[in-house]
Structure 1
Amino acid sequence: MTDTAAAPGSPGAPVIDRRRMRLVMAGLMLGLFMSALDQTIISAALRTIADDLNGLSQQAWANTSYMITSVITTALYGKLSDIYGRRPLYVIAVAVFVVGSVLCGLAQSMVMLSVFRGIQGLGAGGLMSLAFAILADLLPPAERSRYQAWFGAVFGVSAVVGPVVGGFFAGLDSFAGAAGWRWAFFINVPIGIATVLIVLSQVRVQNDRSKDKPDIAGVITLVLFLVPVLFAVEEGPKWGWGSAGTLGLFGVGAVGLVLFVMAQRRAGGAALLPTPMFRSPVFTLYNAVNTIVGAAVFGSLAVLPLYLQIVKGLSPTQAGLMMLPQTFGIIVAGRLCSAYVTRTGRFKGAMLTGIVLIMAGTFWFATLGADTALWQAAVAAAVMGIGIGVCWQVMLVAIQRGLEPQYMGAGVGSFAFFRSIGGTVGISVFFSLFFGSVGGRISDAYADAASDPGFKAALADPSVTSQPANQTLLAGRNGAVSLDDSSFLAHADARLAHPFLEGMAQAMQTVYVVSGFLLALGLVLALIPRDRRPEADAATAPSAPSASPAPSPKKVAAHQ
């Protein structure tokens, strides 16, 4: 029997049978779940991991290395799948991700973990973009919307389950002979195996293959641009922003960017990011907004667990549960926004509303201190979650409205590519900003606490100041405290710890203020493109704003 999905965008095009489609969806959803779950699990467990590996101040690299490689491969997978087919590239992506997960679970230092997270990222780049591309190959837009809603549900479930599971593993001293946090990575192995088995047996997509060669020059120059810049951002506070090493790395990155643009122009249609796509002002401007929002959101959320777990003293599981309001905000807002955009075809107002709400949540986070009630953090997270659900549900639709059909793979990849670029830079910059300022903020907070009666009483008590944890705390009065292992706080005197925690909270406030102003820039850019009337896009009306690629006229055959 042969199921044919010829010209998915054409009226009356036959589609893959429902039984096989359900199995295909199971495989794709498992891959997406594995990728999404990994991020939320690690976010909840990272403080415990960093303390165990004595590298809290280096934890940015555990996220940054993952995002660098996923950024690069996101664009590459989209293009390679146009050349070699979706299924083999998807299986390779899953396999690489699983291997990287096992290596992460075996890491013995933060440096090793960062390297192995980079290997994970090499696979993660294909899990999202290829899932949407496979779905676009198999189904016409009218059928696609029903199935794409389940992709959104995967991210919602992972956002709920991940922090709880990550907190559970982080709270275990050991499990099956390994430290509990290591199972946050090992859990990907059975999920990955199941994903590969389903995809190999059920996904038989033969899309119209491009005859272009892979854009190797684009990959090399993209690495030459990203790696030096992100390394300079990470090490700049230690070396000095005006040091020869920092300026030299920025210089190498600038050269890499110029070479990358030249390589894309030279490669033409074979480019990772074909330059004809950027002839559309909507595509260009909204990808700029996509990058900015990605930087603000990912950078802000990377810092938030430090506030919840260190400043407020929550366990990893409790901190994960504190993110549930944000998760529910994303899910509910996404559902409502999907219905509105599908019915009206208008997306600009929804996108602007989403960015404003993300800004509101971000500036609310900038008011949180050591003594702020936890309910405020929960409400701020919910407001930000609603904004994220509204904004990103429609951004892909807006970006791909003007794309030509031959750029389907590259166009789908561009959305994740620019969002990941923003997220990578945001995490690096915000962690750099935080760790670069936290020592001074802690020192200032101790100076302000000098007149506090409780602090003075604790400081005058030799039985208190002689304790190792309190001695570590008091080193912060001159900014000399080490943040590589924060576990000493569990044994510290609360009176002496309060200025330390307040200084950390103030450093985080700086991060959120910068994030808020960055979002304001994104809002200005999002105001520029004009919204198009629904009738102008009748043939390409959005089906599922959470992930709906532009309809593809490619001929596809799925063989049973």
Structure 2
Amino acid sequence: MRTTHRPLITAALALSLFMAALEMTVVSTAMPTVVSELGGLQSYAWVFTAYMLSSTITVPIYGKLSDLYGRKPILLFGIGLFIASSFASGLSTSMNMLIAFRTVQGLGAGAMQTVSLTIIGDLYTLEERAKVQGAFSGVWGLAGLVGPLTGGLIVKYLSWHWVFFINVPVGLATLGLLLGFFHEQVQRKPQKLDFAGAALLSSGVVALLFGVQGLGRNLLGLPVALVLLVAFVFVERKAAEPIIPMSIFKLPAITISSVAGALFSAAMFGATTYVPLYVQGVLGGSPTLAGGMITPMIVGWPVASMVAGRLLLRTGFRPLIIGGLGLSVIGTGLMALLLKPNASLLVPQLAMGLFGVGLGFTATALLIAVQTSVGWELRGVATASHMFFRTIGGVLGVGLMGGVLVSQLMKDPRVPIAAANELLGPEHGRGLPPEMLRTLSGALGTGLSINFWLICAAAVAAFAAGLFFPKVKRDSGTTVSVTDAAAPH
């Protein structure tokens, strides 16, 4: 039997996550320019939420499929879909077309995020994993350094379409490594996939997103979501092979990790979506400068994650989780208090840096806690469940903030939405009538200010949830939460 080439596969998994990280920073940099060219500021949030929504819905499904049929085929499918939809996104000629292809891109990203992290859990023991997961986050730092600069240069000298094309060569290289060097043994048994659970979960999440975005206007989605999600829980409790086994939530580490992960992801995705918009739309910065505001967060994250990986076996999960979430509260608090129309650019940089360091400590500890709570046969679904809650937190957070922003911009019926699109263009709305420009700038600033307070509130709630994370006893100098089952190969 051929064995997996662990160093090369680790590199392939790093490339897979690098695509996701680079996509986030590059697209955030380019979006104000995309809006100025294609129009559709009212759909601004959907470029992000469509991507996150489709990946959220599929994360637990991919996790279950990887437990049943192996990690490799699911990951190859996800990367292939991501490459094709990235190329299609770059060819978009309208905002609706871009949103549609970003939805498909999210379908691929759901497999890439979940299965990549699950494979890391398979390939390394607990002691190795604590270090590897921390070092693995270095790819986010690299993407954070090159992403905003690359995005800004592409927008300035080429076209925003090229920010999507850059995924293609990286994706093809990743596929080649996985096809040639990743081998696994999977004992396939006849299984019946829980289609009813998958359908209820998908429709429930979609209804919830529409309900959140319609707050103050149309609340129909919320009761519909409640009914569908309650039905999902009932079906999962009876299913022979549930998409998300309800039994795993009997473990406090998984339950608290899910809640805290959802809340800090709402804050994180909100910050990466709306801080660049604030810098470009309110402070009048360039696309490169706007994207650069994310860099301190995405550099601070891997640095803290690598430190967390080394501290984890000595301190346990709880101190890192509580300390990291505390730093996140400080960073988002600075953002909410000090980001004003005449604010110094040092404010978002400092706030995002503290936020990133806090998330680096927290995310690493939460993920490893979840993976060490179950054996191999449930590791895929446990990892997927954790990623599901993190992603759904981001989806709902950005959706809610998008609804807030649109409601503020449309409050004055005399101001057309096309004028808001022009505000984000390279001339920053200089061609608009002075009165309209003042009204529009004020509405944009007010909407974003409300969003920054929502980001801070999500961070505070995550910190409160982290306080309930269980204390884990030490055993021979090693911290474990339950049983750390070895990989099957």
TM-score (norm 2): 0.92
Whose radius of gyration is greater, 1 or 2? 1
Residue 349 (structure 1) aligned with residue 319 (structure 2): yes
Instruction: Pick the aligned partner of 2:485 from 536, 552, 556.
Output: 552
Counterpart for residue 392 of structure 2: 421
SS at 1:181 equivalent: coil
Which amino acid in structure 2 is aligned with residue 368 of structure 1?
L
Q: Within 5 A, what are the aligned runs for 1:115-514?
A: 115-172=100-157, 174=158, 180-209=159-188, 211-234=190-213, 236=214, 241=217, 246-268=218-240, 270-344=241-315, 346-366=316-336, 367-440=338-411, 482-486=419-423, 487=425, 489-492=428-431, 497=437, 500-514=440-454
Instruction: Pick the aligned partner of 2:45 from 60, 77, 81.
Output: 60
Which amino acid in structure 2 is aligned with residue 164 of structure 1?
L
Counterpart for residue 465 of structure 1: none
What's the CA shift for 1:499? 6.1
Deviates more, 1:141-150 or 1:368-377: 141-150
Deviates more, 1:54-63 or 1:395-404: 395-404
Counterpart for residue 518 of structure 1: 458
Q: 1:146 to 1:331 in 2, by over 3 A?
A: closer
Residue 106 (structure 1) aligned with residue 91 (structure 2): yes
Gaps of 5+ in 2: none
Contact 2:326 2:463 in 1 (8 A): yes
Count of residue pairs the alignment pairs up = 485
In 1: Cα distance, 2:10 partner to 2:432 partner: 53
In 2: Cα distance, 1:553 partner to 1:68 partner: 33
What's the CA shift for 1:309? 0.9
In 2: Cα distance, 1:389 partner to 1:529 partner: 17
What's the CA shift for 1:184? 0.8
SS at 2:428 equivalent: helix
What's the CA shift for 1:157? 0.9
Percent identity at matched positions? 31
| 1:418-453 deviation per Cα after TM superposition (whole angstroms, max 9, x unaligned) | 10010000010011112212455xx7xxxxxxxxxx
Which amino acid in structure 1 is aligned with residue 242 of structure 2?
A
SS at 1:483 equivalent: helix
Q: 1:137 to 1:380 in 2, by over 3 A?
A: closer
In 1: Cα distance, 2:375 partner to 2:142 partner: 34
Deviates more, 1:43-52 or 1:131-140: 131-140
Q: 1:97 to 1:505 in 2, by over 3 A?
A: same
In 2: Cα distance, 1:327 partner to 1:555 partner: 34
Give the superposed CA RMSD. Answer: 2.6
What's the CA shift for 1:320? 2.1
SS at 1:136 equivalent: helix
SS at 1:204 equivalent: coil
In 2: Cα distance, 1:87 partner to 1:32 partner: 15
Which amino acid in structure 2 is aligned with residue 555 of structure 1?
P
Q: 1:47 to 1:267 in 2, by over 3 A?
A: same
What's the CA shift for 1:227? 1.1
Deviates more, 1:490-499 or 1:518-527: 490-499
In 2: Cα distance, 1:138 partner to 1:284 partner: 25
Counterpart for residue 70 of structure 1: 55
Which amino acid in structure 2 is aligned with residue 491 of structure 1?
R
Contact 1:104 1:116 in 2 (8 A): yes
Which amino acid in structure 2 is aligned with residue 527 of structure 1?
L
Counterpart for residue 527 of structure 1: 467
Counterpart for residue 15 of structure 2: 30
In 1: Cα distance, 2:134 partner to 2:111 partner: 20
SS at 2:470 equivalent: coil
In 2: Cα distance, 1:154 partner to 1:103 partner: 25
TM-score (norm 1): 0.81
Gaps of 5+ in 1: 4-15, 175-179, 444-473, 543-549
Contact 1:64 1:427 in 2 (8 A): yes
In 2: Cα distance, 1:364 partner to 1:231 partner: 30
Which amino acid in structure 1 is aligned with residue 169 of structure 2?
P
Contact 1:334 1:389 in 2 (8 A): yes
| 1:276-305 deviation per Cα after TM superposition (whole angstroms, max 9, x unaligned) | 101112321221111111112212321111
Which amino acid in structure 2 is aligned with residue 222 of structure 1?
L
Contact 1:58 1:484 in 2 (8 A): no
